């Protein structure tokens, strides 16, 4: 489980495609002594298992394998050497829950249909960016105004919903410490619905 609070930016340094899966080697600033083989790390949304690691404190790498289901539902298949990704290590009991409960089980990809810059003069405290996104087919019913979504592993609050398009507003800090600073219209991001919304919908269907 995760919270959607990004703790580091990783960079893909190697990609090896194999039959129906691909192995990715990711460089990051984590301390390798604190990451065990078999640990779970959210990599721009998908929860992936560490299968190898190396390097020194502040300059490490770890390897993960992405299987067919992950490649089909996420943007992992488009990653290449140099791709920057949001990283979050799994939640420990007693950790601060700063975002919302995120499972790392991506439902599909949302498309950014517009990015609008909001100037410091307009906000009174810093440059922000509004993103309008189209939810994956059949998943817009899980998106609610003032609810939560996870986009590329980031816990974000929904500002508005209109049909299958919803918006989020990213503050300067989020733009700086995640990959969203470079995101533009046309990009596709990993989308995970809120866990409570998922189960609430399932209970309604069961009735």
Q: Which residues does the annotation mark as catalytic?
A: 2, 40, 47, 49, 67, 105, 157
> CB neighbours (10 Å) of residue 145?
12
Cα three-residue angle 109-132-75, rounded to 5 degrees: 20
Do 85 and 179 touch, CB atoms closer than 8 A?
yes
Secondary structure string (H, E, C) spanning 95-136 = CCCCCCCECCCCCEEEEEEEEEEECHHHHCCCCEEEEEEECC
Looking at the DSSP bridge assignments, the partners of residue 112 are: 133
Distance CA 46, CA 61 (A): 18
Q: Is 158 left (phi over 0), alpha (psi -120 to 50) or beta?
A: beta
The total number of residues shown for the chain amounts to: 207
Q: Retrieve residue 152's tokens.
A: 């590329």
Distance CA 121, CA 127 (A): 8
Looking at the DSSP bridge assignments, the partners of residue 166 are: 133, 161
């Amino acid at each position: 489980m995760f919270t959607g609070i990004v703790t580091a930016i990783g960079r893909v340094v190697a990609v090896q495609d194999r039959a129906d899966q691909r192995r990715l080697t990711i460089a990051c600033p984590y301390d390798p002594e604190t990451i065990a083989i078999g640990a779970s790390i959210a990599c721009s949304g998908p929860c992936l298992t560490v299968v190898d690691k190396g390097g020194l404190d502040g300059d490490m790498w770890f390897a993960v394998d992405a299987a067919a289901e992950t490649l089909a539902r996420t943007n992992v298949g488009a990653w290449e050497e140099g791709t920057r990704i949001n990283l979050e290590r799994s939640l420990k009991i007693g950790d601060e829950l700063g975002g919302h409960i995120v499972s790392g089980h991506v439902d599909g990809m949302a498309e950014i249909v517009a990015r609008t810059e909001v100037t410091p003069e307009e906000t009174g405290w810093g440059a922000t960016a509004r993103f309008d996104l189209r939810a994956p087919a059949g998943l817009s019913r899980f998106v609610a105004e003032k609810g939560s979504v996870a986009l590329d592993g980031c816990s974000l609050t929904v500002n508005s919903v209109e049909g299958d398009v919803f918006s989020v507003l990213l503050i300067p800090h989020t733009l700086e410490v995640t990959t969203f600073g470079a995101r533009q219209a046309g990009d596709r991001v990993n989308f995970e619905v809120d866990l409570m919304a998922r189960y609430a919908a399932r209970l309604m269907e069961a009735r």
